Structure 1
């Protein structure tokens, strides 16, 4: 509520004027617009801004109520807003219902009276706006509804009678009085913005008059749905970002390389790839992010956070992910029994006299819609305007290239396009320009838009036939999978060798043990043989002894004469000898049994030893074979072969492109292009249905679809557009207007870029509409720009019972998403450590020392230096300049004279630097970016930019440099010597130094007081990496 939009500045060229009492209004006779001829079919539409006030006054009220906030020396000037905005027709009739009242002005009034201590402090805005609407209707003598054209009623408006200066002033003063802000905000005057519009748009209120936050309405809508439990996993995960995380559930990828190794295995690499040079594969961390997104989100829902330090290839990663998504949809297309089987039911809506019929898609073919969103235009343009350009692909490609050419030209990019792979949407102007260049043919050049291309398809023209396109896609897919199989086999070789070596070692140990046991058994056999021989000798001896004893048996005479005594003695002895023979026989039997048993054991042992020795030999052969295969694989795939050798050297590991060698990359790139050809063939085969569906999508983009159009029909129309254009982009500010008809998880994928710059509330509506989200950014670059004083943020947080983690001045979309991420790492922060999402680590933008400064000041050595191919002179121009630019350095300027934070002596040195780089070194101004922490300095840089000799020079505060880069960056420190706190403000966090250093590809020149600034935290790192030196260029003229 306290974050209003600025009203346009008075600018004759932009047709924005301040109302002068007594002079005609733009719709009245006598105004210059009344006599200005517009083109055929065009008319005027006006937006009136009533009660313009300075946003600095809002800040003053809030600081009086909640306490003064730390000075923001870098943020943009707050500008002006207004109490109300109202759309007026060319005839001067207000569109009743289009008016918007400033929630900020109302809240300021409530902050004054009854004040924040009141429990109902911020209750009642809707009631106040309704009262104002009734007052406006009464003031303009609203006509009967029957007199209002149907096209006005369809838009939810009514027409009032022509309004004049007196009525506008009366209404504005009434609003100021009702809100209680006449004295505190001092709203004054009227401002009118006039635009020529087609007649069909004369009754539109397209958002040009919005005063309030772009996000309030959508946040309210989503908040109600969340309260009802009507939200998906992506938003649910994000909303948990403010909760205390479970550290045990996290996987630190720097400490768990095996997890990374498994995720980048050939079996996990997506089949499709963006068609860059096949020799240039993704780095390890990029491939990990892409493979993780596809593995964990493609068949489900959720959120993945990726930490993207500067120059680590965020766009490169996202476009490979886009290629993987497109190929997955093509794979499902190729499974269809016929193109017509792609569609299910039918729905539609009526616009005027036209019925828009839309065929619904089979569920398996949906969920592939990709939207890139960001807090600023620059970030989304980096993706959506770069991907269609010819130099974005390495291989010959033509995916409606002529249409892509027209879209790029309309976007001001006079470059050749290769395909309509992405589109920039966002505000209504962007959407209308896209429709004009994409859908409709160019009347002057005759270049066809997609509508006429589909018409040609319907008459038999067109690309490759459906069956041929399916066959070609399947053939390439088989080749990709064959190559995957080879690499998957190679991927398994180190583990296979480890298993073979382990098995061989175990077999060798078992064989050795068995041989030892066998020797013991052989000894027992020998002992048993000795025992048997001894038993045989004993048996023979006892038998012989008994036989001899038998020969001594007494005769009859001896028996008689001894009265039987001798005979009895003989029998006793014979019994003893018989027992001895029996015992000897038993001993011999036992010895034979023992010998037989030991013999059998020896035979079994013989066989076991032979078997184990044979297995050991076989495993030895297997080890030799696997080692040979492993060496062959290493030789074949070189650096793409990822095994333990790479893990020992972290830098080498991170720069490795795992398994994705040129041969496989080339096939994967062809598969992506074949997937697009299959999409084209589908369009040709279903040209009639797709024409109808896309015509409905164009109507949605133009804002002509009714607000109550069936969700099923609108969703199918959008899905049809995404079928042709896989990726579209928008800012968060425009998201709910672009996708106003869509609801929970109606979009397949959301890519959030530069998420570190987005306040946490900005992404809620987008995440609610998305099934899957990949959030990419860096909390250690610039943070969200929040104009609301931090003290007021705290007061609002306490009033509404919100956790501190959601304070927009202390967090971002990226920080919240990072906290939910399973994969990531820890980086140092002011209060300890911060967990960031899966990091991209290989930096390919800056030379040293800029890389070293950034890596040390912000990333604890996380990044790996990956810049290659810069061996030639800089600048690379012919003829060679008189001298090469000096090495990066700190130019020490000491001065006590200042104008605010601008130090004229630094300005004089800046002039010498720029002149010397241009004249002596051949560095053109458009290769240079001049930045500063302070907007006082930025204002002076703007004066340099306007000078004839420095045309093309870029510059501003560090915030203006985020997302940009230049060959040379000049960092003008400034800082009022009488206000040392300004330097402390700039040094609070590493973000400013990090962004400044990481914008410079080749050279960084710092201009400022070395002694004073080098004492500051983070700037001391800058001083340690840059030599302090004398001026670079010639003396100032």
Structure 2
């Protein structure tokens, strides 16, 4: 068994102790009265039926945690700590409208067996088998038979009082450590007639996936899961995009630019890091498997980035459809899904080229994040409706999916049974009473008339020609811009060469000048000597005339006259010869200077020719740049030229590389035309699509079972029609019932900093490519489990702290294996952590919120891209409202004086005419609840803990600190990391007001920085 298996087993054992949430709408069942399902029932509304969910026991989570702490001999929760709130139950089951037990609906809470195992010292690895045995025991206890024809009558008996009492007795025996009576609660509700009876919510949503993965070999893990579970990341392969601008430059190469763009406002492009991240995602993942981590602080455009990823995946599939033609998106033949009741289902296999690669799933642990992207995709306000007024993708069938004007069926929220039912009703089914005709009716109407099919086939060809023309136009731009981008290394080399040549020429000019100066100096010296020479010649001539008469005899007898003349003549002659030699030497030196000047001039000319050759390159280079500017409208500052590397990293992050209105329009048109290509291909194949989708909706509602091949085909048919499916991580195992690996083409994990490490292993196993987006400096995953239990289980499997349930998020594990990223300081230590692809351009918060968050959490790496608006300037400046006198505490952390001041300030704000949304947040649940009750009268005032507001934003945010002034522990807990304060600050776009005791909180880490900024 490998270390990866040990990690998975550790996570599985952690999940055994998941505490199921208790449904607050369930009411106490009075066992002295007639059971509600045995009374005459009012009729359920059309297409709905009654359902009863029974919950056995209502146990406070805090009491379970307290018992575990006692059992493990670990410390109990301190007074200052936030208590574990909420309730759990012991078991649950579902009854149909007749009161009989729904088959396979009973489930026991796994934590009961986990506690029993801890008490007896047993291994936790068999819990799943024990849960299954408990279910079988339940079936035997209550004599429940299969829903087959020969046992139908017996299985329809209503669940009676005796059975309830027997179940209570069984649970009392199973959990003798309970200190309270077991009461029964019932939830009566109307549900859609075809909805399945799901009760898996009682236990961990991830337990089945973890059990499966621990049972298979690592060779059967998907490549992405293997990467996720990498024990030792390749540190030497990391590329720091903040420290080394060259790596960022390479990632911005337009050869990686996506053809498709989300049709948002064409004035706005992606900032450098966003653009580089999208480029890198498709460069590294388009033809392979793997994980790419993207690290995005608040307001840095994570969702915007994901929209462009979605657009490009749709375009990639459209390219395949374009090549295949509308008549070949399905293979020959058909498959049959037999049904026990009703007609068999006939389905048709998609062309293999359209399978597994293009399905997009957006998943998150955060419900708000999932809802946001599902609502944004089809919403008209999220596209440039003025520029793309004709944007439409089955828009007649998307309007019922959201409560705003819609332009297309881009996404489906299918995360739970209710969502699946709602989507099927709104999109697929017709309702004649409401004059609503669903997508199923459209498909039927199309293939019933062959003329329709021919009409859509012709339209397909028309759109295909347009699509190819747009792609060709983009390819021309991409070829030109990438050529320009690729020339930068040569440009730098040539510029260095030119600079070198120019320096050499400057040196040569200096040498030529030196030679010329030397020549001039030598000529002057020569002239002086020649003048002296002439004088000596004259002297020699005069001396010759003065030779003694009868010179021969004077010389022969060396007379005194001769001796005197000869001495004088020899002296003058010696000087004559000396000067003559000096003149000759000077002539040689002058010739050397002239020769050197000639050589230098030849060398200069050669260098000049080289510079001319280099200048030809620069002319070519600048001509391309000019063409990118003039032809495509790209601002010269957004063209990554020779000046790019000279810019500061902050200046680079504010660029929109290779963006212009023209290019944005072109890429958006490619995406919108790709959708039209999909639309017409679907209508041409209406019958096959209708059959497949009919089977698909039965598949996801669990009314049919099929093999993995047909399962995959049905899902890919749905993805062909609806590009994106969103779900919470908790619902993945239910929605994607097959364990088949790499069945999802693209997994986009949002808000991954909030997700526990084990919550994604199942969906990663099912996915080919994973883009993990989040911020480890946001609110971390909520951990309620006793620290001692987490530690004990980790040590049992010898798992490193990096994989700890209480220490690690999905984002951190994805970041550590990402090749592209940067290092950031770990608060309170001298250590640094590696984060994924760094988005750093912040567009949400004004100062001082931006400045404080950037200081306490991001090492000053973020770059601000927002400006104050006139509307904002009318609001009171962000400030700290100090509350220090007459402290009155209520409900632990609540300070009444702070609440009074909060109400006063909000009243002033409303009186000034500010009528927009206001968030009131606090680190403590008790304060959040108190504030919620105080402001029920104003629906635009939303109150909650900091955790609740993750992923949200408002113009104005109040942070109410509270806390007992006598207890420093609570303040230390809030300020142990920058995460909480960082999230609170970055919810506020315009103003941030703090209410609390400034003298106490300003002594805490990170809050001391805020105290200096806020007066």
TM-score bin, normalised by smaller chain: 0.7 to 0.9
CA–CA separation in structure 2 for the residues paired with 1:505 and 1:939: 69
1:245 paired to 2:233: yes
- Name the counterpart of 2:335: 347
Aligned equivalent of 2:529: none
CA distance in 1, matches of 2:374, 2:45: 32
Structure 2 residue aligned with 1:909, among 894, 901, 910?
901
After superposition, give the CA deviation of every residue in 1:363-402 in whole Å (9 maximum; x if it has no partner): 3223111100001210111211111100111122011112
Question: What does 1:863-902 correspond to in 2, within 5 Å?
Answer: 863-868=862-867, 870-874=868-872, 884-894=874-884, 895-899=886-890, 900-902=892-894
Larger CA deviation: 331-340 vs 903-912: 331-340
What is the CA distance between 1:350 and its match in structure 2? 2.0
In 1: Cα distance, 2:806 partner to 2:102 partner: 38
User: Taking structure 1 as reference, are residues 614 and 759 closer, same or farther at Cα in structure 2, changes over 3 Å only?
Assistant: closer
SS in 2 for 1:845: coil
- Partner SS, residue 740 of structure 1: coil
Q: Does structure 1 conserve the Cα–Cα contact (< 8 Å) formed by 2:103 and 2:146?
A: no
The structural deviation recorded for 1:632 is 3.0
1:163: which partner in 2? 159
- Mark the CA change 1:224 to 1:132 in structure 2 (over 3 Å): closer, same or farther: closer
Cα 1:68/1:187, change in 2 over 3 Å: farther
TM-score (norm 2): 0.83
Of 61, 74, 96, 2:67 maps to: 61
Residue 94 of structure 2: aligned partner: 87
1:52 aligned partner: 58
Q: Deviations over 1:161-211 (max 9, x none)?
A: 43212221222211331x2x234353511112222345555xx4223x632
Note if contact 2:929-2:943 (Cα within 8 Å) is conserved in structure 1.
no
2:21 and 2:86 in contact (8 A); partners too: yes
2:414 maps to which of 417, 425, 434: 425
SS at structure 2 position matched to 1:470: helix
Q: 1:279 to 1:1007 in 2, by over 3 A?
A: same
- C-alpha displacement of 1:444: 3.2
Deviation per residue, 1:218-255 (Å, 9 max, x gap): 21122223x35211111111112xx3434322111111
Q: CA deviation at 1:39?
A: 2.9
- 2: CA distance, partners of 1:304 / 1:826: 16
2:763 corresponding residue in structure 1: 766
The alpha-carbon distance between structure 1 residues 697 and 41, as it changes in their structure 2 partners (threshold 3 A), is: closer
Residues in 2 aligned to 1:617 and 1:130: alpha-carbon distance in whole angstroms: 82
- Tell me the equivalent position of 1:220: 211
Residue 960 of structure 1 and its aligned partner are, at CA, apart by: 1.1
1:354 deviates by 2.3
Is 1:282 aligned to residue 270 of structure 2? yes
2:401 aligned partner:
407
Q: Is 1:852 the counterpart of 2:860 in the alignment?
A: no
Instruction: Give the TM-score, by structure 1 length.
Output: 0.82
Q: Which residue of 2 aligns with 1:880?
A: none
Question: Could you say which residue in structure 1 is the equivalent of 2:671?
Answer: 672
8 Å Cα contact 1:490-1:633 kept in structure 2: no
Q: Which secondary structure state, in structure 2, belongs to the residue aligned with residue 967 of structure 1? A: strand
Partners of 1:495 and 1:56 in 2: CA distance: 63
Long gaps (5+) in structure 2 = 1-15, 512-598
CA distance in 2, matches of 1:646, 1:510: 27
Q: Does the residue aligned with 1:229 lie in a helix, a strand or coil?
A: helix
1:900-933, Cα deviation, whole Å (9 max, x unpaired): 11111101100111100001x2122x52100111
Alignment-derived partner of residue 649 in structure 2: 650
Name which of 801, 820, 831 aligns with 1:804: 801
Contact persistence 1:641–1:659 (CA under 8 A)? yes
Check 1:423–1:607 CA distance in 2 against 1; reply closer, same or farther (3 A cut).
same
Measured after TM superposition, the shift of residue 278 of structure 1 is: 1.8
Q: Verify the 8 A CA contact 2:81 2:970 in the aligned structure 1.
A: no
Question: Secondary structure at 1:184's aligned position in 2?
Answer: coil
Closer/same/farther in 2, CA of residues 96 and 371 from structure 1, 3 Å limit: closer
The CA distance in 2 between the partners of 1:606 and 1:109, in whole Å, is 95
1:624–1:251: structure 2 CA closer, same or farther, 3 Å change rule? closer
Residue aligning to 1:27: 37
Q: Is the 8 A contact 1:266 1:487 kept in 2?
A: yes
Are 1:349 and 1:710, in contact at CA under 8 Å, matched by a contact in 2? no
Give the structure 2 partner of residue 363 of structure 1.
352
Matches within 5 A, 1:499-578: 499-501=493-495
SS at match of 2:249: helix
> Are 1:98 and 2:98 an aligned pair?
no
Give the aligned partner of residue 376 of structure 1: 366
Instruction: Report what 1:588 is aligned to.
Output: none
Q: What is the CA–CA distance in structure 1 between the aligned matches of 2:179 and 2:60, rounded to whole Å?
A: 7
Q: How does 1:112-511 map to 2 (within 5 A)?
A: 113-114=119-120, 118=121, 120-122=122-124, 124-126=126-128, 128-129=130-131, 132-133=134-135, 135-142=137-144, 159=155, 161-177=157-173, 179=174, 181-201=175-195, 204-207=196-199, 210-225=201-216, 227=217, 229-240=219-230, 243-336=231-324, 339-343=327-331, 346-351=334-339, 352-366=341-355, 367-394=357-384, 395-396=388-389, 397-408=391-402, 414-458=403-447, 459=449, 460-461=451-452, 465-492=459-486, 494-501=488-495
Comparing 252-261 and 74-83, the one that deviates more: 74-83
How much does 1:1002 deviate? 0.5
- After TM superposition, the structure 1 stretch with the greater mean CA deviation from structure 2, 744-753 or 693-702, is 693-702
RMSD (CA atoms): 3.0
Displacement, 1:52?
2.9
Partner of 2:923: 933
Q: Distance in 2 between matches of 1:138 and 1:692?
A: 40
- Residue 576 of structure 1: aligned partner: none
Secondary structure at the counterpart of residue 338 of structure 2: strand
User: In terms of mean alpha carbon deviation, does 651-660 or 48-57 score higher?
Assistant: 48-57
Q: How far 1:812 sits from its partner (Å)? A: 0.5
What is the CA-CA distance between 1:306 and the residue it aligns to?
A: 0.4
Structure 2 residue corresponding to 1:780, chosen from 777, 785, 800 = 777
Does 2:636 align with 1:638?
yes
Q: Distance in 1 between matches of 2:690 and 2:717?
A: 9
1:442 positional shift: 3.6
Compute the displacement of 1:300 (Å): 0.5
Change (3 A) 1:684 1:165: same
Residues 112-146 of structure 1 show CA distances to partners (whole Å, capped at 9, x for unaligned) of x32xxx3x243554565455445434443445876
